[in-house]
Structure 1
C-alpha cells in the first residue's frame, strides 16, 4: 500500500506536467482539426475544419458560455470523401428537441473530448482505444447560445488525495496488525 501511495505521488507530478502542456495548447495558433487516431496532445488547442455535410444531430446536457444549463447540440460533420466524421458542438438551447438549421461550412473552435457512452465497467476492464475528439464551435448555429469553452482546469489532478488514502490504509493495516499481535500475546500468557 505504501508503494501505491508513492506511485500516486509520482503520477501527481506527471499529471501536473500534462495539465501545464494542455494549458500551453490554448496559447498556440490555430491548426487544422487532426485526423484520427490521435491522443490527448491536441486537447484545448484552437482548430478549424470544413463541415461538408451534417450527417445527423445529437443532444446532451451542457452549459452555455454564461454558465446557464441547457442542451448542447452536436453535429456529426462529414469532413471528407474518406468518410471521416467529426462531432462539432454548435451551441446550447434552453429546450431539447430543437434541430438547428445549420447545414455545414467552415467551423473554428477549441478541441475537447467527444462524449463517450462506454459503460464504466467496460472502461475499467477492457482495453480502451483513444477517446474521440470534437470541436466546440466559437460561433454558435442560428438560434443557439455559444457553448462554454473547454478549460484545462477541468482536468482533475486528485493523485495527492489518492496517495494520502493509500498511506492511511497502510497505517490502519499496521494498527490492526499490532492489535492482533498484542491480542495473541495476551492469549499465550
Structure 2
C-alpha cells in the first residue's frame, strides 16, 4: 500500500514541458522546481507542494489510495486555476506507477497517461502524455503524444530539515 513512501522528502525537479500540445510541435521549455512531499494515513495518502521559481504559478498534488480497488487517485492543484477535478487513477506494478484519466485539453477530449518510473532512493522520473485519438491500455489503435510534461526528480532531503522551525507554535481553539 505504501507506494508513494519513496517520495517523502524534498526533491529538485527538472521540468520539461511541451509548449504546444496536440499539434505536432517539438518545442519545449525547461524550468526548475522544488518539491516537498509528505505521507499521511500510514501510507494511504500523499501530498506535495511544487514551487516553480521561474513560472507564474506553483502546484500541489494530493494522492489517495483506495484499498478495496487497489488503486490511487491523483489530483493536481494549480495556484492560479485551483483544483483539477479529474484525477488520474491507477496503480504501481513492478516498481512503476501508471495512471489514466479522460479529460480535455483546450476543449478537445483527451486520454491522459501519467507515469512514475526509475524509482531509486535518490531519483525517479515522472511524465504525463496525452492521446487525442482514443488510445487505451491494450488497444492497438490510438497514439500517445511525446510526454507533454515531465522530468527527472533528484536529490532527496529529509522533510524535517524543511519544516523544522524555532518559531513558537500557536494554540488553536475550537468552539
TM-score by length of 1: 0.26
Q: TM-score, normalised by structure 2?
A: 0.28
